Amino acid sequence: MVRFKNRYVLCEVVSEDPQCRQCIEDRAVGLAVRDAISRVHGDFGLACCSISFTVKYLNAYTGTVLLRCRKDSYRMLCSALPFVRQLESRNQRYPCFLNTLHVGGTIRTCQKFLIEYNRRQLLLLLQNCTNEEERRCVQKSLLSCSFTEEQCPSGNEDDDGTE
């Protein structure tokens, strides 16, 4: 049996209206991307990309989208993403575009990249803070987006069992 390799494309929805991101659905993103592929690459490109194309993850609050497609056709997908100019959801059109952040072979690599990307964005926000209250809020967010190891509930056990 042959294993089909996939590529995961991590994108962010960029819009002037922050309410736009909260109204979008994964179905709307999938339709907009398929429409862009069809316009740019025609029926052949749409057929190649549609074989295993799915929207694996959508965070409407942060505007993060994770798309999956076959390894053979991820270049067609990436070349069509800049042509997504609007998303249609609940009979309303929201002008926006998709910014490609990362292309990875696994969801885990995309998650790792996203954590580092968000951390860098928070550091940029920290530099642009105007007062001390904003600075404390950003510092708190910055400290919360790191990897931490879980400790045992009793709190007195070591990892290897020796003292």
- Summarised one tens digit per residue, pLDDT across range 91-134 is 888 888 999 999 999 999 999 999 999 888 878 887 888 888 87
What does the domain layout of the chain look like in residue ranges?
Answer: 6-105, 108-144
pLDDT 10s digits, 51-88: 889 999 998 888 899 999 999 999 999 999 999 998 88
Query: pLDDT tens, 39-60?
Result: 999 999 999 888 889 999 998 8
Question: CA 98 → CA 13, 52, 108, 146, distances in Å?
Answer: 5, 20, 21, 26
* Phi and psi torsions of 15, nearest 5°: -145, 150
Q: Please tell me the CATH code under which domain 6-105 is placed.
A: 3.30.70.3250
Indicate whether this model's pTM tops 0.85: no
3-state secondary structure of 6: strand
CA 149 to chain centre: 24
Phi, psi of 86 (to 5 degrees): -155, 155
> In angstroms, rounded to a whole number, what is the distance separating the alpha carbons of residues 67 and 69?
7
